[in-house]
Amino acid sequence: MRRERVSDDIYVFTSNLYAQVTASAVVTRGGIVIIDTLPFRSETNEMVDYLNSLGQGPIKYLVNTHWHGDHTNGNCLFDDSVELVSHRRCQQAMMQYSEAELAASKEITPLLEGIEVKIPEVVFEEGKMVLHVENKSVELILSPGHTFDSTMAYVREDKVLIAADTVMPVPYFVWGDRHVFQQSLEVLKTYNIESIVQGHGEVLLRGEIPGAIDSNIEYLVIVEKKVREFVDKGKSKHDLKELTIDLCGKSRIPLNGLVQDLHQANIQHLYDEFVRERDRIETEEMKEMENVGVDLEVTEAAEVAEETAEQSLL
């Protein structure tokens, strides 16, 4: 696990074991607010041990930014004195998905042995909630896109945005909605931010932030345009390998190259969506043509019947 300090009272812990995922802590004598856990027991315990060694206040709150296990697996390692906080959407998603997802993950890695799902009980339902601890105000902001429950934490006094997976080296929207994602990224421009803690990867400093946000928005626009062109030209899903992350304006280097896998998942997800959309439109057009054909047959039959009737009268 790697540890760094982004302000006097804010620490970021980055996993060495999984996808450079981050967890953060706002430390005061009145209590500590942790935002997300690390994926595996060893690193989460290492983080907690370090925070306890600082001799500040106790861990008071643990915030889950969204339901994915790489940010919530460590919940069970905290005792009941720590209040687990999330948006209600996160709570509901964990109740619906987390048990099955954790069971599937345990089949892949023994590092999850002993981990159990622990669901937040303190929830908010509006767009924002503020945790006040000592001299710190931690503003929790619903920012869907990566997932429908994605949340960020903005430490007002330090102007530090703990963005979780709303900000990553490449936007990943397979579990969410790319259009809503774009709106959430636009909202970031309204905040006065000194640094952004990404959900995975390096901390972004003030001078890097505008370019990073614009680059992520541009990526969402580009991938939609390029994948739609693939579908319109009748190209197969196999052809998507031609559409590399570089062609969509992003580097293939971050997260030790994992961004390329995230990109491929994005464009395959889009391809399937656009093919379903195309097939639905074609089906509707065929039904419409069939209905027109039936109407014509009925009209012709009526005309024939009318002619026959007229002739019989003669």
CA–chain centroid gap for 85, Å, is 18
Quote the CATH superfamily of domain 2-205: Ribonuclease Z/Hydroxyacylglutathione hydrolase-like (3.60.15.10)
Q: According to the model, what pLDDT value does residue 103 have?
A: 97
DSSP state of 203: P
- Whether the predicted pLDDT of 305 surpasses 70: no
User: Using 50, 70 and 90 to split pLDDT, how confident is the model at 223?
Assistant: very high
Distance CA 7, CA 77 (A): 26
User: What's the pLDDT at 38?
Assistant: 98
Q: Which of 222, 232, 32 is nearest to 138 (CA)?
A: 32
For 57, left (φ over 0), alpha (ψ -120 to 50), or beta?
Answer: beta
Q: Show me where the domains of the chain are located.
A: 2-205, 227-313
Mean pLDDT of the chain: 93
Angle, CA 49 vertex, CA 45 and CA 55 arms, to 5°: 155
Rg (CA), the chain: 26
Q: What is the mean pLDDT of residues 133-139?
A: 97
- pLDDT value at 199 more than 80: yes
- What dihedral do alpha carbons 30, 31, 33, 39 form, nearest 10°? 160
Asked which of 12-16, 145-149, 171-175, 294-298 is least confident by mean pLDDT, the reply is 294-298
| pLDDT tens digits, one per residue of 237-290 | 999 999 999 999 999 999 999 999 999 999 999 999 999 999 887 677 667 766
pLDDT > 90: percent of the chain: 87
Residue appearing with tokens 């490449």: 170
Given this model, what pLDDT does residue 126 score? 79
Residue 207, pLDDT above cutoff 70? yes
Residue of 159, 213, 218, 220 whose CA lies nearest to 186: 213
Helix or strand run (H / E) with residue 70: helix 69-72
Q: Token pair of 48, please?
A: 């907690």
Q: Is the pLDDT of residue 187 over 80?
A: yes
What's the pLDDT at 274? Answer: 96
Distance CA 255, CA 245 (A): 13
pLDDT (tens digit per residue) in 66-89 = 999 999 999 999 999 999 999 999
DSSP for residue 97: I
Which phi-psi region, left, alpha or beta, contains residue 109 (left: φ > 0; alpha: ψ -120 to 50)?
beta
DSSP string, 36-65: ---SSHHHHHHHHHHHHHTT-PPEEEEE-S
At residue 151, does pLDDT exceed 80?
A: yes
Q: What is the pLDDT of residues 7-51, one digit of tens each?
A: 999 999 999 999 999 999 999 999 999 999 999 999 999 999 999
For residue 123, pLDDT beyond 80: yes
Q: How far apart are CA 59 and CA 45, in angstroms?
A: 13
| Residue with more model confidence, 284 or 201 | 201
CA distance 81 to 215: 41
Is the pLDDT score of 313 beyond 70?
Answer: no
Residue 236: which region, alpha, beta or left (left: phi > 0; alpha: psi -120 to 50)? beta
| Spatial distance between the Cα atoms of 33 and 85, rounded to a whole number of angstroms | 10
pLDDT at 304 over 90: no
